[in-house]
Amino acid sequence: MNRLVISDLEYTYKDQTEPVKVLKGVSAEFSEGKLYAIQGESGSGKTTLLSLLSALDEIQDGDIKYNNKSIREIGLSDFRLKYVNIVFQSFNLIKYMTAAENVQVAIDFAGRHDDPLRYLKKVGLDEAASSRLVNKLSGGQQQRVAIARALASDVPIIVADEPTGNLDEDTEAKIIDVFKDLAHKDKKIVIIVTHSRKVAEQADKVLKLSRGKIS
């Protein structure tokens, strides 16, 4: 079973007038086939933890291991390429491309030959929607494209930053179902940083960050 384990993570922002420690010995374990929600007040360290989990920032103290191997040993760039993909609240799609073309970029980057429509259908988008420019799609549809792009990378870990924050309630429920399927059916490790009560209710486990510590 694939596992992602964080041990005694500490992180301090040193470019302030005074250093600010945002993570204070954070430890947790994430297993494949489960959906995790990370919650906490603004300033609790959620964004910093997400950046470390997705190898967007370097570890200062403590460690993150995937299948008993430190991501520093794997290499942060290789870890991002082969093992983790992040779904942003702002989608980060290429606006002048269609939905299918956005997903094709991820397929090409992974060096594989595949049909982007396969992944778009998996998140509930039909061929007509797939051929439209992403800036002509609804917010919920754009979020589905972002998730399909992550799926096309074929990585075992999906990390999402407030993926339902800009969506209406009905669309939020549908997106939560997509993430649940990624965990339960596709056996991914799915970690969502969120303020949403509904996301937390549907998660297999909720981790709460408070003053840099997790519970």
How far is C-alpha 147 from the geometric centre of its chain's CA atoms?
Answer: 9
Checking if the pLDDT of 207 tops 90, the result is: yes
Structure tokens at 97: 């491309």
**Per-residue confidence (pLDDT) for residue 112, from 0 to 100:** 81
**Per-residue confidence (pLDDT) for residue 157, from 0 to 100:** 96
d(CA 215, CA 209): 7
Nearest by Cα to 57 from 13, 112, 8: 13
Q: Averaging pLDDT over each range in 60-69, 171-180, 192-201, which range is the top one?
A: 60-69
Please give the average per-residue pLDDT across 78-97, as a whole number: 88
d(CA 198, CA 165): 11
d(CA 215, CA 206): 9
CA-CA-CA-CA torsion for 104, 126, 90, 166, nearest 10 degrees? -170
For the domain 32-57+78-214, what is the CATH superfamily, name and number? Answer: P-loop containing nucleotide triphosphate hydrolases (3.40.50.300)
Q: SS3 letters for 151-179?
A: HHCCCCEEEEECCCCCCCHHHHHHHHHHH
pLDDT by residue (tens digit) across 7-48?
A: 999 999 887 678 889 999 999 999 999 999 999 888 788 889
Instruction: Name the pTM for this structure.
Output: 0.88
Sheet holding 20-31, edge to edge: 20-31, 3-13, 61-66, 69-70
**Per-residue confidence (pLDDT) for residue 44, from 0 to 100:** 85
**Per-residue confidence (pLDDT) for residue 16, from 0 to 100:** 66
**Per-residue confidence (pLDDT) for residue 15, from 0 to 100:** 74
Please report which confidence band the pLDDT of residue 71 belongs to, taking 50, 70 and 90 as the band edges: very high
**Are the C-beta atoms of 123 and 144 separated by less than 8 Å?**
yes
Q: What is the mean pLDDT of the chain?
A: 90
Checking if the pLDDT of 139 tops 80, the result is: yes
Domain boundaries, the chain: 32-57+78-214
pLDDT by residue (tens digit) across 140-171?
A: 899 889 888 888 888 999 999 888 877 788 88
**Per-residue confidence (pLDDT) for residue 9, from 0 to 100:** 95
Checking if the pLDDT of 96 tops 90, the result is: yes
- C-alpha pair distances (Å), 150 with each of 43, 195, 212: 27, 22, 28
Q: How many C-beta atoms surround the C-beta of residue 178 within 10 A? A: 18
